[in-house]
Amino acid sequence: MHQGRHRRRGENISSCEVESVLRTHPAVAGAAVFPVPSELAEDEVMAAVVVRRGAVLDPADLARHCAQELPACAVPRYVEVVESLPLTETGKVRKAVLRERGVTAVTWDRCLRRP
């Protein structure tokens, strides 16, 4: 997402907007949104989320929450719960680190409902 935006299926997606909606979910303490390669030509939206202490996050519930506030193209396909987000010395999220890691065996996939 160059400059916090990328295109998916011809639509502009603002990572800041998606992150703001993710953070309004009661179980989410922090979130970062970034593109990951898809089996198709265009990238898919992935979110790394930090869960609030004592909360439980259901990725399907999080996707439904996003769908109420965002256009369908901006709802993350992939959600991965992480202990913390990688930060720079100035406190910005290092999205390049998250993009490089990409989809893992524990990433929830809205299209496949896994893991």
The string of pLDDT tens digits covering residues 13-45 is 899 999 999 999 999 999 999 999 887 767 899
What average pLDDT does the chain have?
A: 89
The pTM score is 0.86
Tokens of 25: 């979910």
Res. 9: pLDDT tops 70: no
Place of tokens 């929450």: 65
pLDDT tens by residue, 73-96: 999 999 999 999 999 999 999 999
Helix axes 15-23, 59-69, angle to 10 degrees: 120
Cα–Cα dist 81/87, whole Å: 16
Q: Is 53 helix (H, G, I), strand (E, B) or coil?
A: coil
Q: What angle do CA 111, 114, 115 make, to 5 degrees?
A: 165
pLDDT at residue 44, as a whole number? 93
Name the fold adopted by 2-109: GMP Synthetase; Chain A, domain 3 (3.30.300)
C-alpha to C-alpha distances, 46 to 12, 38, 57, nearest whole angstrom: 15, 11, 16
Q: Where are the domains of the chain?
A: 2-109
Q: Phi/psi at 75 (nearest 5 deg)?
A: -70, 125
